[in-house]
Amino acid sequence: MHDLVLAVTGASGSAYAVRLLEALLTARRRVHLVFSAAGLQVLKHELGLSINAGRFEVASLLPHRTSAADNELVTLHDGRDYSAGIASGSFRTGGMVICPCSMGTLSSVAHGLSTNLIQRAADVHLKERRKLVVVPRETPLGSIQLENMKRLSDAGAVILPAMPGFYHNPQSLDDLVDFVVARICDQLDVPHDLTRRWGDTPLDS
**Structural contact between residues 114 and 30, judged by C-beta atoms closer than 8 angstroms:** no
Assign 201 a pLDDT band (cuts: 50, 70, 90): low
- What letters, b where the CB count within 10 A reaches 16 and e where it falls short, cover 40-78? bebbeeeeeeebeeeebbbeebbeebeeeebeebbbbbe
Considering the four listed CATH numbers 3.30.70.1380, 3.40.50.1950, 3.40.50.970, 3.90.550.10, the one that applies to the domain covering 3-187 is: 3.40.50.1950
Mean pLDDT value of segment 107-132: 97
Q: What residue ranges do the domains of the chain occupy? A: 3-187
43-98 pLDDT per residue, tens: 999 999 999 988 999 999 999 999 999 999 999 999 999 999 999 999 999 999 99
Percent of the chain residues past pLDDT 70, beyond the cut: 97
DSSP E strand boundaries for 86-202: 93-101, 132-136, 158-159
Mean pLDDT value across residues 164-192: 96
pTM above 0.75, yes or no: yes
